[in-house]
Amino acid sequence: MQLCASSSVEEVAAIVSDALTSAGITAVLSGGAAVQIYTSGLYESRDLDFVASASQRELEQVLHRLGFTREAGRHFVHPTCPYTLEFPSWPLAVGNQLVREWGERPVGGLRIQILTPTQCAMDRLAAFYHWRDRQGLDQAVLVAVQQVVDLDEIERWSVREGHAEAHREFAARVKKTRTGG
């Protein structure tokens, strides 16, 4: 699998994730690209957020071999790839909760290190809860409807985050969407 202008977000994520893992770097896909993968493109993102345990210099060395160059700060671009890479700081967390285990998703012969669907929904809800990002709520609902998620865990986490009331809006939207009402 090679990067090109027609590479899907999933293919790009797999190539990057595999290269980083092979270099001994933990990097977990989160954000909008995870939503895009879990919703089969119902939501589209133009950047891939990998929360990585490496320094910018270490990332730069691996990504340079794939043809990416550092544009500014944590952002990397590729001359033919339509997606930008961004590397938020480690540790990996959803809201105030550290994430110690995550999922893997096979793509071809490669694997993406990625938040689980439940963690992905929580990640998007964190944007809604903490920054009033309505798109985060929309994305969390999409993931919860398209994937099997642990709604009880999302509720417990929401309460711990101090957002039980906002969680009720999420739960009502998921229920309404699932029942077609």
Q: Do residues 30 and 95 both lie within one domain?
A: yes
Q: Residue 46's CB: how many other CB atoms inside 10 A?
A: 11
User: What's residue 16's pLDDT?
Assistant: 98
User: What's residue 6's pLDDT?
Assistant: 86
Q: Residue 160's CB: how many other CB atoms inside 10 A?
A: 12
Quick: pLDDT tens for 71-82. 988 999 999 999
Nearest-angstrom CA–CA distance, 130 and 26: 26
pLDDT at 124 over 80: yes
Q: Do residues 78 and 157 both lie within one domain?
A: no
Average pLDDT over residues 104-127: 97
Q: Do residues 16 and 97 both lie within one domain?
A: yes
pLDDT at 52 over 80: yes
Please choose, from the candidates 101, 90, 85, 102, the residue with its C-alpha nearest in 3D space to the C-alpha of residue 55: 90
Q: What does pLDDT average to over the chain? A: 96
Q: Do residues 34 and 100 both lie within one domain?
A: yes
Q: Do residues 24 and 56 both lie within one domain?
A: yes
Confidence of residue 3 (pLDDT cuts 50, 70, 90): confident
The three-state (H, E, C) secondary structure of 26-55, written as one string: CEEEEHHHHHHHHCCCCCCCCEEEEEECCC
Instruction: Flag whether 4 is in a domain.
Output: no
- Which of 93, 114, 135 terminates a domain? The answer is 114
Confidence of residue 10 (pLDDT cuts 50, 70, 90): very high
Determine phi and psi for 156, rounding to 5 degrees: -60, -45
Q: Do residues 85 and 21 both lie within one domain?
A: yes
Q: Do residues 103 and 122 both lie within one domain?
A: no
Average pLDDT over residues 52-71: 96
State which residues form the domain around 145. 117-179
User: What's residue 73's pLDDT?
Assistant: 84
> Looking at the 3D structure of the chain, how many domains does it have?
2
- Which of 88, 114, 140 terminates a domain? The answer is 114
pLDDT at 158 over 80: yes
Q: Do residues 121 and 92 both lie within one domain?
A: no
pLDDT at 180 over 90: no
Distances (CA, A) of 142 to 44, 102, 164, 176: 12, 19, 20, 12
User: What's residue 149's pLDDT?
Assistant: 98
Confidence of residue 160 (pLDDT cuts 50, 70, 90): very high
User: What's residue 8's pLDDT?
Assistant: 94
Please choose, from the candidates 67, 69, 60, the residue with its C-alpha nearest in 3D space to the C-alpha of residue 15: 67
Q: Do residues 72 and 96 both lie within one domain?
A: yes
Nearest-angstrom CA–CA distance, 99 and 115: 9
User: What's residue 157's pLDDT?
Assistant: 98
User: What's residue 172's pLDDT?
Assistant: 98
Output the domain CATH number for residue 108.
3.30.460
Q: Residue 57's CB: how many other CB atoms inside 10 A?
A: 8
User: What's residue 122's pLDDT?
Assistant: 98
Please choose, from the candidates 103, 108, 94, 104, the residue with its C-alpha nearest in 3D space to the C-alpha of residue 163: 94
- Which of 90, 114, 138 terminates a domain? The answer is 114
Q: In what order do the strands lie in the sheet with 75-77?
A: 69-72, 75-77, 84-86, 47-52, 27-30, 110-114, 103-107
**β-bridge pairing 93-94 and 97-98:** antiparallel
